[in-house]
Structure 1
Amino acid sequence: MKIWKKQKKILAAFGFFMFFMFLCTLISRAVYASKLPQVTVDTPHKMALKHTVEAEGIVHPGREYAVTALMGLRVRTVYTNVGDKVTPETLLFDVDLEDLKEKIQEKELEIEKSRLQLSDQEKNKSLEARKKKTESDRAKEDQTRTQERQAQALSQAQEELEDAEDAYDDHTDHPVKTTSSKTRKAKQAAYDAWVKTEKELKDAMDQAKEAWEEAQKKAEDLAQAGEENSQALEDARKAEQEAKKAFEDAKDAYEKHMENQVEKPDFSAEDAKKAEWESEKEALKKAVEDAGKALEEAQKTRSDALLDADRKVEDTLLDADADSSLTISRMELAVLETELAAYKKVQDAAGQVYPEAEGIITRIQVSPGERIGDGAAMVYADLTSPMQFQVSFTKDQKKYVNQGDTADLTLGSSSGREVSVDYIAENEMNPELYDARIFLPDGVGTIGQSGSLKAEVQSESFSCCIPLSALHTDENQRNFVYVVSERAGILGNELVAEQIYVQVADQNDTYAAIEEGLIDRDTELIVSATENLNDRDVIRYKE
């Protein structure tokens, strides 16, 4: 029993402790939550965005006329001011007549100089034409003379070639007759045989004579030795007689051979005549070749000379170099005469300038004592033509306004009227601006009147549109939003602000249309907070 009571007290104490801890937790969470940023949320909507474009402008004249005057004249007096209403009888300004007179004199002097120069150019042109005709006639005469001379030279070269060929043919038709080689060999062989026999006979005679003389000397020697009747002497004398007889026979044979002497063949004379004939033949052949070359050279010379003469004639027939100086001088003279006539027209009008129609002066470009420049001296607006309202849009505004769109126009204190944007284009001076024009009905607007143009354009329907206050931009110009999400914390689940980057499709002053993706129609977007938020900051709903 005592144990049970003791356990009961322990359970009661534990229950009281748990209750105390739960109470402390609630108090802690309340204190923690009281310090958290409070946020207001909204969910995306499906809607179309409405864009309103409003800009200030001024009424301008619908049509303007330029008042022009001769450039360079000195203005004496200006009688009107910007904004003055003028009629064709209103004197706008006049020029200095003395200055105009000097201009006329200068222009007349220029015209006289131009006429003298033109006269000189015409005379030179005529002289050049005559010189060109003379050159052409002389070139044709030279051409004819060249043809005749070259024809004569060619004919002479042809005759010389024919004469050389005839002389060569005549010479070759009468060759020099010479002994044939066979006959020459036979005569030489006969002569050589005779010479050989003559030498043999002479040698035999000389040997026989020596033998005879030796036999004679031997017999004399024997006789002197006293052997008159000896057999030896008798034999010696007999041998002497035999040797003598042999000598006499050899001598007779030699003399008989010499009596039939064969002359040595000599063909030098006929060879000389043959050589002379051949030399003359070569000379005549060379003469034919030289005459042929001379004919070819004459033909080439004739061709070159005729070509050169023909070209000289062709050159004289060519058109002269393009020269527009005479035409230009005539044009310049005509311009000077036109300018002089314009000056005299101003002089006839006493230097006074009037407008052509009724209007209001909008611009004055001349001043007393100054010379008139190029362009309009004055500009005046035509009061009979409709006015136009001109206004400028920024690039962002231009996205929602196009040519042909309707808009509401308010001029001064009058009520607005619906108009159409007749023209819109990029500003030539500032590409960040676009100029628009609205042509006003007759009788509407006055020059310089201020007004405002208001255009409302509704976009297509977007499925995900958020309040513009929920859209933020980081330092890199990227768009993002904060959405409500949960995470586990020390005291349980808690709400956090999660940063999500988005792509903006369109936006106006209150809403932005973003592309669907991480965000859908059920996503809670933070549209406001009591403090500046960062990604993953803990938050609580605003009470």
Structure 2
Amino acid sequence: MRKRKMWVGYLFILPSFVGVLIFVLIPYIDVVRRAFMQTASGQFVGLLNFKAILHNKAFLLAFTNTGRFVGVCIPVLLVLSLGIAVSLAKQTAYAEILKTGFVEKQLSALKELQSAEGKVVSPMDGVVSAVNIQVGGMTSGTADILIADTSAEMMLKVQFSEENKEHVIVGANVKLISDVLMETEKNAVGKLKITAIQQNTETGAGVEASIRIPPNTLPIGISVGVQIETSKKMYSGCIPLEALHQEEGNQYYVYTTDEKKTILGTEVIARRVVVTVEYKGDRYAAVKGLSVDQNIILSSSKQISDGGRIKPQKQ
């Protein structure tokens, strides 16, 4: 029974012993063996490696610095530590000075808290954006309460749809739209511009524009709308994009309806009309080359060509 208990104990410490053997003892023995061998050939050289080390300037400098540290710094540190400990234990006048120096910082903070009747105030103006502590809980010493600094610039994020993103460009002037802001508050913001544009990551469609707001002008968290100021220009004709076709290069054309008289009567055919594009948006294009009385073909269920017969359906 006793031998069985001994074997159980040996089996218990066997994993630890194997780990120490592999990661400590065997590498240490190998280091000692290599100290007497030549690195390149592996030939036994005795104490030649140690003789070479004793003539190495880097080793001698490191050995000297270590000796100075062990011979000077450590004894001084021990003497000072022992002297301070003995002085504190004997309650001498010097001990009182040391104690005061150690706790003065903590005492000053507690005195300030006492004079404020336990109220902790923020060192700056701002808005509390997050409270990461519960009533009665211990503070963690990190960011227990987060405050948004209103004295710094704010960033207004505005989302635009796909059909409006063509007007969203960096540097474009914008105007605030809000039912809760007074006109004086809007004027205090001043002229605003779009400073950055990125893809809308929330919906995956459209874009998100960033607009810098001057400090101390708008409340944090307020929802406002914006209006982009764009230059207006009148065009002679606008057509839907689905009616516009493009050849190789920058030549555009549209199909219009026309009438052709035949033996069987009058037929409606398609005519190819070359146009000049003055402006192209997401839904419409401004073109030149069409008259007011021409009917354009928006789409077709079959492939059409210039002069081909069609059956129009008015929309």
Normalising by structure 1, we get a TM-score of 0.29
Normalising by structure 2, we get a TM-score of 0.45
Flag the structure with higher helix content. 1
Larger Rg: 1
